[in-house]
């Protein structure tokens, strides 16, 4: 390697190592839809002469980096960067470095590594190589055509196939595939990849995603066969809310003819290439075993119609018809930018019961989104039915009223003759219980497997404490998030809805980011959101949004504002200015839309479907608390979000270097704030409506002048009295109320709320058997029964946004907006609730952050780990700063700790630190 910098470029005893190499957030992606992909890495400490258990060095920083990109692993090993050598770059950046080498073309395969220099300017070992490949960038790169069967939907799932011959050994083979509908590719009798329900839901008129698969090991010299199954999916199947949307049919809202498009590129060892694409030479049949398959209805499978070997070479397809080339009206083909959906957990039932003769109900012990795999022996033609539900009634029978008109029913007709296995392909259900009928005998628990799937985002957060109820709450939040990640952030996985509701993810985004790496997932979804933005600037209430016109489901306060809040959350956590660039014009159109109709600064007009603080205590069917004291007035809530979106837009403009827009929208935000105070805040700082929700939102958003905070907070606390100390808040404001209780010194009250077991509370739902977060506080009330089945999901993550409070208060983890992407952050745990210990980790984009605290014998111990190339401000909870020790020595005398004044309502000794591991102790009451 040439020097290109100080130290001769030679490897020294560097204290850092680069790892976890990512391209556009993904690990070794096979297709990125850009010629200038962004490269990122994380840094970890290296202790060459110390055991792994030794403390990591402190204050580690990256001083410079050098990226090498080559067209083969051999060239990279020889340090021959024929595509790009960045040279030594004096920078501590490790995120989103754009490729700047030789122009890349479609299918270009690239191998890369990075070497960093540490704070002492020592060159470190280069990272283990990674790779990325460019996808098919334009229409001319697609040789495969759209093909189908030439019929409308309402048919069995078609099977498609084509044989081809390879004249030599395969060096590498990549298959690109997509569908209008959902598909599963097969090759030589085996399934291709492990993604499910591909290509996933988009606004098909704007964008259709394709996937890339390395199938090198599935091919062989001579005869080969490609096969595909093609389901209706979101494109041609039933969609949620179609029954109440205007001018829509239940099925085929995007289109009524499914289609497949695929293209296989094969490199042979002799240097030649072969391309096999979808065209008129493919053949199809409707005689397959899947008689019907729908996301909402379920799957009907007749094993007697199975055709062994249909996806392998040598199969007799002379009775099959020729595939029909098609010219569907759809958007651009783009490589999927986020992780695919995969089956990521298998659950064995915890019990089998027979509430009625021949009716078997199995309990998985956990609500999942997915399906069941069933092993059985049956007579030929024997019909087995699996009905899925979230809850069972007092009689032990499935409670299905809340599913509305989604059957969630899978049917299997036995082939006979031995052990059979049924697992549906193109449907999913939200369920904890499955009712099985048609069996001759009770199933064993090992005969049934619950298969849970979700978008395969990397888990990033964990939190555990001394209280089992809070641990169950944390688990319920994570499972609810998993169950609502079928490629988009849905509201629920079970009933006839399952849409990407914007208000839900707006309030849950930070919790979701703590739990999982949502950078690519939310980036993809923001494109869905902007794809379906109305011409006048209204964001849809859910995205993708298949219904026209948007009039009924668009433009709602707190829902449409996801178009500003979610990209800002991505920026705060991942330091991604590209997301801001993409989101800026849609966000600007949204704010301008509100302003056109509300020039006085109060959002009183054009609120469309004004959901407000959805499902607050005023909506309880079972009376316990007074009515009319929970709902924040619509114009108050709307104006707060109008201000928040405008304020974020001004900050977006500033980050993007648009000073003119930053000044304009900053000024508009100031006028909205003043109008809010003049119209809704009286001389005693009572906010119109006088609700927990109104005060929590005003304080949490920042719209309220700082001089009024203390009085407004007193009013918020006062409004707990009519509700016997319980929350009266709904979807939008619950997490604000929790965060404000901690922020203004009432953390014990917040802890008490999370640990309550009386209705309404999270603990109450857990006491009633909830394994996920409920849509409404009163989804089920003991002695009174279930709420209105028209809207009663038991797997809705909105009020699970309390997870943000858990990470911020219990672990004390706070991102720093001034240093986005966790370049600098705060660790400020607030012990309480009688907890004796809390521990957790957040795998930030720059590395893992660990926090653990314990209280014992009047002393608190706090252990934290700060990743390399970052800094942190640590608040050690104590009312006696002089008692603080770090590593057994007085903390205020240690050179690696910089004391800072405390700025919170909770007594603490505050220090600024560099990377490393720290062990504090302090006196506590």
* Residues 307, 156 contacting (CB under 8 angstroms): no
Find the catalytic residue in 200, 390, 497, 635. 497
* Residues 402, 792 contacting (CB under 8 angstroms): yes
- DSSP designation for 26: B
Give the DSSP letter string of 313-343: TT---TTSEEPEE------EEEE--SPPEEE
Measuring CA to CA, which residue among 326, 287, 292 is closest to residue 307? 287
Q: Is 497 a catalytic residue?
A: yes
Write phi, then psi, for 505 (nearest 5 degrees).
Answer: -75, -25
- DSSP designation for 481: H
Other C-beta atoms lying within 10 Å of the C-beta of residue 273: 10
Q: Is 267 a catalytic residue?
A: no
- Angle, CA of 350, 351 and 356, to the nearest 5°: 155
For residue 867, give Cα distances in angstroms to 60, 437, 863, 898: 8, 54, 13, 18
Cα gap 108→113, rounded to integer Å? 17
Measuring CA to CA, which residue among 99, 209, 103, 38 is closest to residue 578? 38
* Residues 472, 766 contacting (CB under 8 angstroms): yes
Whether cis (ω within 30° of 0) applies to the bond prior to 199 is yes
Helices (H) and strands (E) in the chain, counts: 15, 46
Residue 31's contacts (CB-CB under 8 Å, 6 or more residues apart) are 133, 134, 135, 136, 176, 210, 211, 212, 335, 336
Q: Which residues pair with 860 in a beta bridge?
A: 855, 922
Kindly state the tokens that stand for 291: 């008689």
* Residues 813, 872 contacting (CB under 8 angstroms): no
Phi-psi region of 418 (alpha: psi -120 to 50; beta: other; left: phi over 0): left
- Helical H runs in 224-332? 233-236
Measuring CA to CA, which residue among 599, 587, 585, 593 is closest to residue 668? 599
Cα gap 690→682, rounded to integer Å? 11
- Residue 698, Cβ density class (10 Å: 0-12 exposed, 13-18 middle, ≥19 buried): buried
Angle between helices 502-515 and 562-574 (to 10 degrees): 10
Q: What is the Cα 63 distance to its own chain's centre?
A: 33
Write phi, then psi, for 747 (nearest 5 degrees).
Answer: -65, -30
Kindly give the pairing relationship between strand 859-866 and strand 898-900.
unpaired
For residue 771, give Cα distances in angstroms to 396, 474, 838: 17, 10, 22
Find the catalytic residue in 267, 435, 775, 804. 775
- Angle, CA of 562, 614 and 814, to the nearest 5°: 50
Kindly state the tokens that stand for 843: 């795998």
| Residues noted as catalytic | 497, 775
């Amino acid at each position: 390697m040439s020097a290109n910098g100080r130290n001769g470029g030679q490897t020294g005893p560097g204290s850092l190592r680069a790892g976890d190499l990512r391209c556009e957030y993904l690990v070794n992606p096979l297709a990125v839809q850009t010629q200038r992909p962004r490269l990122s890495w994380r840094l970890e400490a290296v202790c060459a002469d110390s055991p792994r258990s030794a403390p990591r060095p402190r204050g580690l920083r990256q001083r410079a980096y050098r990226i090498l990109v080559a067209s083969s692993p051999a060239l990279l090993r020889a340090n021959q960067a024929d595509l790009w050598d960045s040279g030594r770059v004096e920078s501590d950046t490790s995120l989103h470095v754009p490729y700047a080498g030789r122009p890349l073309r479609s299918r270009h395969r690239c191998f890369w590594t990075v070497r960093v220099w540490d704070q002492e300017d020592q060159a470190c070992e280069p990272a283990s190589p990674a790779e990325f490949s460019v996808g098919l960038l334009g229409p001319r790169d697609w040789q495969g055509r759209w093909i189908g069967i030439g019929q409308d939907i309402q048919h069995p799932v078609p099977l498609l196939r084509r044989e081809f011959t390879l004249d030599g050994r395969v060096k590498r083979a990549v298959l690109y595939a997509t569908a209008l509908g959902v598909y599963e590719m097969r090759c030589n009798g085996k399934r291709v990849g492990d993604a499910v329900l591909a290509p996933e839901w988009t606004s098909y008129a704007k964008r259709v995603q394709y996937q890339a698969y390395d199938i090198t090991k599935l091919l062989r010299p001579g005869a080969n066969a490609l096969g595909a199954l093609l389901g209706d999916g979101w494109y041609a199947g039933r969609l949620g809310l179609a029954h109440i949307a205007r001018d829509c049919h239940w099925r085929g809202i995007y289109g009524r003819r499914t289609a497949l498009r695929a293209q296989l590129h094969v490199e042979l060892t002799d240097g030649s290439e072969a391309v096999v694409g979808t065209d008129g030479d493919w053949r199809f049949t409707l005689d397959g075993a899947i008689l019907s398959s729908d996301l909402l209805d379920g799957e009907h499978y007749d094993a007697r119609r199975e055709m062994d070997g249909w996806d392998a070479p040598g199969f007799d397809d002379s009775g099959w018809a020729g595939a029909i080339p098609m010219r569907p009206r759809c958007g651009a083909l783009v490589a999927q930018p986020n992780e695919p959906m995969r089956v990521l957990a298998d659950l064995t039932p915890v019990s089998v019961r027979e509430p009625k003769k021949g009716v078997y109900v199995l309990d998985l012990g956990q609500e999942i989104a997915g399906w069941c795999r069933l092993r059985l022996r049956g007579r030929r033609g024997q019909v087995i039915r699996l009905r899925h539900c979230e809850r069972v009634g007092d009689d032990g029978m499935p409670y299905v009223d809340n599913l509305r008109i989604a059957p969630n029913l899978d049917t299997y007709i036995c082939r006979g003759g031995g052990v059979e296995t049924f697992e549906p392909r193109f449907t999913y259900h939200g369920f904890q219980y499955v009712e099985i009928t048609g069996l001759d005998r009770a199933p064993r628990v090992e005969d049934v497997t619950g298969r849970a799937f979700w978008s395969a985002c990397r888990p990033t957060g964990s939190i555990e404490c001394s209280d089992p109820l809070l641990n169950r709450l944390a688990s319920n939040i994570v499972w609810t998030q998993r169950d609502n990640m079928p490629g988009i952030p849905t509201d629920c996985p079970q009933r006839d809805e399952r849409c990407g509701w914007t208000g839900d993810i707006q309030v849950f985004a930070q919790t979701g980011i703590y739990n999982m790496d949502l950078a690519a997932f939310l980036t993809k979804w923001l494109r869905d959101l902007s794809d379906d933005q109305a011409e006048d600037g209204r964001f849809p209430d859910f995205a993708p949004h298949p219904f026209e016109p948007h009039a009924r489901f668009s433009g709602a306060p707190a829902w449409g504002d996801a178009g500003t809040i979610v990209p800002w959350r991505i920026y705060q956590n991942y330091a991604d200015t590209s997301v801001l660039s993409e989101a800026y014009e849609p966000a600007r159109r949204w704010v301008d839309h509100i302003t056109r109709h509300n020039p006085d600064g109060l959002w009183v007009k054009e609120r469309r479907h004004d959901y407000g603080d959805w499902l607050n205590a005023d909506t309880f069917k079972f009376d316990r608390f007074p009515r009319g004291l929970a709902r924040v007035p619509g114009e108050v809530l709307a104006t707060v979000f109008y201000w928040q979106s405008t304020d974020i837009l001004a900050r977006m403009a500033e980050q993007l270097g648009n000073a003119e827009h930053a000044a304009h929208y900053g000024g508009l935000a100031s006028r909205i704030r003043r109008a809010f105070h003049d119209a809704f805040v009286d001389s005693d700082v009572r906010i119109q409506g006088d609700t927990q929700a109104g005060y929590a939102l005003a304080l949490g958003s920042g719209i309220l002048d700082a001089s009024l905070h203390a009085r407004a907070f007193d009013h918020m606390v006062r409004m707990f009295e009519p509700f016997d100390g319980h929350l009266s808040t709904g979807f939008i404001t619950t997490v604000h109320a929790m965060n404000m209780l901690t922020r203004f010194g009432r953390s014990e009250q917040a802890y008490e709320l999370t640990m309550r077991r009386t209705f309404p509370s999270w603990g109450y739902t857990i006491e009633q058997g909830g394994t996920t977060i409920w849509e409404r506080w009163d989804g089920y009330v003991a002695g009174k029964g279930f709420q209105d089945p028209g809207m009663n999901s038991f797997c809705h993550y909105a009020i699970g946004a309390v997870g943000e409070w858990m990470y911020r208060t219990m672990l004390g983890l706070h991102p720093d907006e001034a240093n986005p992407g966790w370049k600098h952050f705060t660790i400020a745990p607030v012990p309480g609730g009688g907890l004796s210990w809390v521990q957790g980790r957040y795998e930030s984009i720059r590395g893992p952050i660990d926090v653990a605290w314990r209280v014992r014998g009047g002393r608190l111990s706090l252990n934290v780990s700060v990743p390399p190339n970052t800094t942190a401000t640590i608040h050690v909870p104590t009312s006696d700063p002089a008692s603080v020790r770090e590593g057994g020595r007085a903390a205020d005398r240690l050179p690696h700790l910089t004391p800072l004044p405390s700025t919170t309502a909770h007594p603490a000794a505050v220090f600024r630190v560099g990377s490393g591991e720290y062990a504090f102790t302090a006196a506590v009451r």
